[in-house]
């Protein structure tokens, strides 16, 4: 946003104060619409964040509210647009008081507006600012933060947040800041409203910015209609490489989720001794029985049979419950040697690939890997801590290096394309912290691809819908007791309500 702000002025001729004035008015209108307060205290600190606060105070005053401004800096501290905003404020009858009047000022108002510290800080809030943040939080009143809650910034590995405003609402300008959509920042931000104001659309949507925010309204437009004269062939065929007897549930969850998401067919590759499990548990899925498979695991003979009996699936999934024995590795290698069409790889397929077999993916199109942080660590040779410390950088670099699409699971799921464009799906749901929910995600994504979405869109949409389904189940059953199969069964409810309610 700093770059966009600079380009808006130098390339598009927009005035810095005009941008500030428009942002301040939009924020003031949002506060009025959200809370209908009678009295407001605006806390102003440093830089342009304080300038935004001055404008907000003046606009709310013009709207008839009782407004008090608490300044932590002297007027001489401001320059540029912030100085102009201060001078216009000083011409009004709005009382501006110093830090010593903070307590009495806060006690008399309905809403507190936080314009203390913006995005420019590099360390935790210190001195008077830290003390003010603690006092404001202790009041327990509704707090609206401008751009980011004061004290919040991108954290270095192992760094603690320190003192941060606990906002009920954060109104951010232009584009959302990453820290507002990821932990721990989202815990402080409350509800986030993004106001693009009059920044040129060409700047906000430029492909120069590699990190994208997955929003429900945009994602809803990706869903294809289901015409009344359609048939099962309209919605694709998901092929699913099954698993050993002990892990048949993983395969069942992939197939169940794929069918619940709307594909026309889900076909499970299995061995004879496992087939009865699938036929009993999920009769809607078809079975393709392969030779071999000692103890229920696929082996080299199974791979040869796959090569001879494979069907024309729209997409093939492989990994959940697959196993990592030597025979299974030989099976996977054989499958990849004869299957050049779209792939979704998860779980044990990723663990096998991480053992020096990533070259098997070279030259393929429409391949998606869906690792959790542990699997991502094995694929990259990093530690889990290193992956989690730089999730965006790690997933983007891997996608570009290996020319595949990668979905990195976890709080704030990420999807990176081979060209480096990366999507953030904000949010987290503890109900999904349970075995089997990742298998459900694999089935959802494969099904969306089978229904016509490009692989990266299927991954972004799948992660968004999967998270929403988990949250819906948690609301019904509580976050502790949600089953992966219940998440799968909630998928069609989310998709049906998607265009209207997201």
Largest CA distance in the chain: 86
322/35 Cα distance (integer angstroms): 53
Q: Mean of the pLDDT values across residues 400-425? A: 97
Sign of CA dihedral 18, 21, 27, 32: negative
Q: How far apart are CA 115 and CA 28, in angstroms?
A: 12
Residue 15 CB partners (closer than 8 Å, separation 6+): 9
What value does the mean pLDDT of the chain take?
Answer: 94
pLDDT band at 501 (very low <50, low <70, confident <90, very high): very low
The three-state secondary structure class of 79 is coil
pLDDT tens column, 258-287 = 999 999 999 999 988 889 999 999 999 999
Alpha-helical (H) ranges within 339-390 are: 347-353, 373-380, 384-389
Query: Radius of gyration over alpha carbons of the chain, in Å?
Result: 27
The DSSP secondary-structure symbol of 101 reads: G
Phi, psi (5° rounding) for residue 303?
A: -65, -40
| Residue 297: predicted pLDDT | 85
Helix/strand/coil for 61: helix
Per-residue pLDDT, 214: 82
Q: Which residues of 485-500 are buried (b: 16+ CB within 10 A; e: fewer)?
A: bbbbbbbeebbeebee
Q: Please state the rounded mean pLDDT for residues 153-173.
A: 92
End-to-end C-alpha distance for the chain, whole angstroms:
26
pLDDT score, position 498: 77
What pLDDT score was predicted for residue 499?
55
User: How many Cα atoms are found within 13 Å in the side-chain-facing hemisphere of 223?
Assistant: 24
Closest CA to 414 of 157, 257, 211, 176: 211
Is residue 497's pLDDT more than 90?
A: no
Q: Which residues of 424-439 are buried (b: 16+ CB within 10 A; e: fewer)?
A: bbbbbbebbebebbbb
For residue 245, with 0-12 CB atoms within 10 Å meaning exposed, 13-18 middle and 19 or more buried, which class applies? middle
The partner residues of 100 in beta bridges, in order of sequence, read: none
Bigger pLDDT: 500 or 468?
468
Please give the average per-residue pLDDT across 101-128, as a whole number. 94
Q: Does residue 192 surpass a pLDDT of 70?
A: yes
Q: What are residue 407's phi and psi, to 5 degrees? A: -110, 115
Cα(354)–Cα(377) distance, integer angstroms:
9
**Between vectors from CA 119 to CA 117 and to CA 123, what angle results, nearest 5°?**
75
CA neighbor of 173 nearest in space, from 300, 30, 347? 30
Say if residue 224's pLDDT is above 50: yes
DSSP secondary structure letters along 106-157: HHT-SEEEEES--TT--S---HHHHHHHHHHHHH--EEEEESS-TT--PPPT
What is the C-alpha to C-alpha distance for residues 346 and 323, in angstroms, rounded to an integer? 12
Whether 442 contacts 346, CB under 8 Å: yes
Tokens standing for 127? 């001195």
Q: With beta carbons less than 8 A apart as the criterion, state whether 199 and 1 touch.
A: no
Q: What is the pLDDT of residue 502?
A: 43
Place of tokens 């770059």: 3
Average the pLDDT over 361-365 and give the result.
Answer: 91
* Range of lowest pLDDT (135-149, 190-204, 238-252, 468-482): 238-252
Find, among 189, 45, 40, 20, the residue nearest to 116 by Cα. Answer: 45
Give the residue from 288, 293, 289 showing the smallest Cα distance to 321: 293
Q: What is the pLDDT of residues 66-111, one digit of tens each?
A: 999 999 999 999 999 999 999 999 999 999 999 999 999 999 999 9
Count of C-beta atoms within a 10 Å radius of residue 232: 10
Query: DSSP of 217-285, one letter per residue?
Result: HHHHTTPPP--TT--GGGG-EEEEE---GGGHHHHHHHHHHHHHHT-SEEEEEEEHHHHHHHHHH-TTS
Examine the pLDDT at 293 and tell me if it is beyond 80. no
Q: What are phi and psi for residue 108, nearest 5 degrees? A: -105, 5
Q: Does the structure show a pLDDT above 70 at 465?
A: yes
Torsion of CA 463, 491, 297, 406, to 10 degrees: -10
């Amino acid at each position: 946003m700093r770059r966009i702000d600079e380009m808006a002025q130098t390339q598009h001729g927009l005035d810095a104060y005009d941008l500030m004035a428009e942002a301040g008015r939009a924020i003031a209108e949002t506060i009025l619409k959200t809370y209908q307060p009678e009295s407001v205290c605006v806390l102003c600190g440093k830089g342009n964040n304080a300038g935004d606060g001055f404008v907000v105070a003046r606009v709310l005053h013009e709207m008839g509210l009782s407004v008090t401004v608490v300044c932590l800096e002297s007027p001489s501290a401001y320059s540029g647009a912030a100085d102009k905003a201060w001078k216009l404020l000083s011409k009004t009858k709005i009382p501006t008081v110093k830090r010593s009047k903070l307590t009495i000022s806060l006690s008399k108002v309905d809403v507190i507006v936080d314009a203390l510290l913006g995005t420019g800080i590099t360390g935790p809030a210190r001195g008077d600012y830290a003390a003010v943040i603690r006092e404001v939080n202790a009041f327990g009143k509704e707090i609206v933060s401008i751009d980011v809650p004061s004290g919040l910034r991108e954290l270095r590995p192992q760094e603690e947040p320190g003192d941060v405003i606990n906002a009920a609402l954060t109104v951010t300008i232009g584009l959302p800041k990453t820290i507002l959509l990821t932990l721990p920042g989202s815990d402080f931000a409350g509800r986030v409203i993004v106001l693009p104001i009059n920044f040129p659309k060409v700047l906000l949507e430029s492909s120069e910015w590699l990190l994208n925010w997955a929003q429900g309204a945009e994602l809803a437009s990706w869903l294809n209609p289901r015409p009344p004269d359609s048939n099962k062939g309209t919605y694709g065929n998901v092929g699913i490489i099954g698993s050993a007897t002990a892990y048949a549930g993983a395969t069942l969850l992939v197939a169940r989720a794929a069918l619940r998401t709307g594909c026309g067919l889900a076909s499970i590759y299995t061995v004879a001794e496992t087939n009865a499990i699938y036929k009993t548990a999920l009769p809607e899925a078809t079975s393709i029985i392969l030779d071999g498979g000692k103890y229920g695991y696929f082996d080299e003979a199974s791979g040869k049979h796959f090569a001879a009996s494979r069907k024309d699936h729209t997409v093939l999934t492989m990994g959940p419950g697959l196993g990592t024995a030597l025979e299974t590795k030989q099976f996977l290698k054989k499958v990849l040697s004869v299957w050049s069409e779209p792939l979704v790889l998860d779980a044990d397929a990723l663990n096998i690939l991480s053992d020096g077999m990533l070259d098997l993916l070279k030259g393929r199109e429409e391949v998606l890997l869906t690792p959790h942080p542990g699997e991502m660590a094995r694929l990259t040779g990093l530690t889990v801590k290193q992956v989690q410390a730089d999730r965006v950088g790690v997933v983007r670099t891997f996608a570009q290096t290996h020319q595949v699409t990668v979905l990195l699971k976890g709080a704030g799921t990420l999807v990176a394309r081979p060209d480096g464009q990366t999507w953030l799906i904000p949010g987290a749901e503890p109900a999904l912290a349970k075995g089997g929910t990742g298998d459900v995600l694999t089935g959802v994504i494969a099904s969306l691809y089978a229904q016509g979405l490009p692989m990266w869109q299927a991954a972004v949409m799948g992660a968004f819908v999967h998270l929403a389904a988990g949250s819906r189940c948690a609301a019904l059953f509580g976050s502790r007791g949600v089953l992966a199969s219940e998440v799968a069964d909630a998928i069609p409810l989310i998709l049906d309500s998607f265009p209207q309610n997201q």
